[in-house]
């Protein structure tokens, strides 16, 4: 299967951001992509750098304007599109939501981000309620979304630090893991610290591929976005990548420029890898009860 990951730099112009994303999808499909993934909250700047109630005006319903536009594009190009939206589920109830548009244009499913950070520059708990279900399955928690190109284990950004989320998607039959992302550096951190953060981010996601024997797709944004008062800001570090089921790089983007990765995935390789590294067989499920505790005192 040929897949594409789009790394984009955003502006305050919502319509221009979406139009550029759609142009990049067209370019990826022209190169043969059957599945295309956009970065987290691709329609706007990363507004979670501050707590501002006016930012709730950015939210939209699902289905809504973005899913209508992307669904029409998916149908026109006959491609599966993974997109990330600020969802207004009800008045006062909002989610960080990833949606899947099937190649015939219909909404195949959605995933509402389960792990919500609250750190300097990433004040997401102010905006987002943690997810509670996968739209098309009716199951609580981590359930892959069935599409014409396979079962997509769709997770979002902060979810990528949690091996439990990746494992549960794998146990539910995901064919690959996908992470729309918006992460970057505080420019006040020294280069050594910045390198440690980037290396940790890459390593943990490649480890999800290894531990579950699945390909992993990661789409991060790039470019500098200043803080709301003109000070501070986030230097998004790009480095979107695709890796195979042993964590091997298949493609990796640069740090500071827009880029589209178009990659051929051998979907039979997970079967081969899991035969020689049968981690699911050797799990000691009888000894893992404490994983459901916050901390083992």
Of residues 99, 122, 60, the one with CA closest to residue 178: 99
In-domain check, residue 122 = yes
Task: List active site positions.
Answer: 40, 113, 157
In-domain check, residue 290 = no
In-domain check, residue 34 = yes
pTM: 0.96
* Mean pLDDT on 239-251: 98
Residues 6+ apart with CB under 8 A from 61: 87, 88, 89
How high is the pLDDT of residue 231? 75
How high is the pLDDT of residue 139? 59
In-domain check, residue 87 = yes
CA distance 16 to 13: 5
- Given a contact cutoff of 8 angstroms between Cβ atoms, the answer to whether 35 and 25 are in contact is no
Examine residue 63 and say whether the peptide bond preceding it is cis (omega within 30 degrees of 0). yes
Q: Is the pLDDT of residue 136 over 80?
A: no
In-domain check, residue 291 = no
- The string of pLDDT tens digits covering residues 155-185 is 999 999 999 999 999 999 999 999 999 999 9
Q: CATH no. for residue 85?
A: 3.60.110.10
Structural tokens at position 171: 């146990």
Domains held by the chain: number:
1
How high is the pLDDT of residue 132? 82
In-domain check, residue 78 = yes
Q: Residue 153 to residues 12, 18, 126, 222, 245: CA-CA distances in angstroms?
A: 30, 24, 26, 24, 14
How high is the pLDDT of residue 141? 73
- Phi and psi based region of residue 213 (left: phi greater than 0; alpha: psi -120 to 50; beta: remaining): left
Q: Are strands 118-119 and 107-112 parallel, antiparallel or unpaired?
A: unpaired
More confident of the two residues 275 and 297: 275
In-domain check, residue 6 = yes
* Mean pLDDT on 222-239: 91
Question: What are the two backbone dihedrals, phi and then psi, of residue 145, each rounded to the nearest 5 degrees?
Answer: -100, 125
Domain containing 206 equals 2-282
Q: Is the pLDDT of residue 133 over 80?
A: no
- The string of pLDDT tens digits covering residues 47-62 is 999 999 999 999 999 9
In-domain check, residue 295 = no
Of residues 168, 176, 194, the one with CA closest to residue 265: 176
């Amino acid at each position: 299967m040929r897949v594409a990951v789009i790394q984009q730099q955003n502006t305050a112009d919502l319509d221009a951001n979406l139009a550029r994303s759609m142009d990049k999808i067209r370019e990826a499909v022209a190169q043969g992509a059957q599945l295309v993934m956009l970065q987290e909250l691709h329609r706007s700047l990363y507004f979670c750098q501050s707590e501002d109630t006016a930012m709730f005006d950015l939210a939209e319903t699902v289905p809504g304007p973005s899913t209508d536009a992307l669904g029409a594009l998916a149908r026109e190009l006959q491609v599966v599109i993974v997109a990330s939206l600020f969802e207004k589920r009800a008045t006062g109830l909002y989610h960080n939501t990833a949606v899947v548009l099937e190649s015939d244009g219909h909404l195949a499913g959605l995933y509402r981000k389960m792990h919500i950070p609250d750190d300097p520059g990433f004040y997401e708990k102010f905006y987002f309620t943690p997810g509670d279900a996968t739209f098309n399955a009716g199951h609580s928690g981590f359930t892959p979304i069935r599409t014409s190109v396979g079962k997509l284990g769709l997770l979002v950004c902060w979810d990528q630090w949690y091996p439990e989320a990746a494992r549960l998607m794998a146990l539910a039959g995901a064919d690959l893991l996908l992470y729309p992302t918006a992460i970057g550096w505080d420019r006040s951190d020294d280069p050594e610290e910045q390198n440690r953060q980037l290396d940790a981010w890459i390593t943990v996601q490649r480890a999800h591929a290894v531990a579950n024997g699945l390909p992993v797709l990661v789409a991060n944004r790039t470019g500098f976005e200043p803080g709301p008062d003109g000070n501070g800001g986030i230097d998004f570090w790009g480095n979107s990548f695709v890796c195979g089921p042993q964590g091997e790089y298949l493609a990796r983007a640069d740090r500071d420029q827009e880029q589209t990765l178009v990659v051929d995935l051998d979907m039979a390789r997970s079967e081969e890898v899991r035969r020689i590294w049968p981690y699911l067989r050797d799990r000691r499920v009888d000894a893992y009860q404490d994983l459901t505790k916050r901390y083992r005192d």
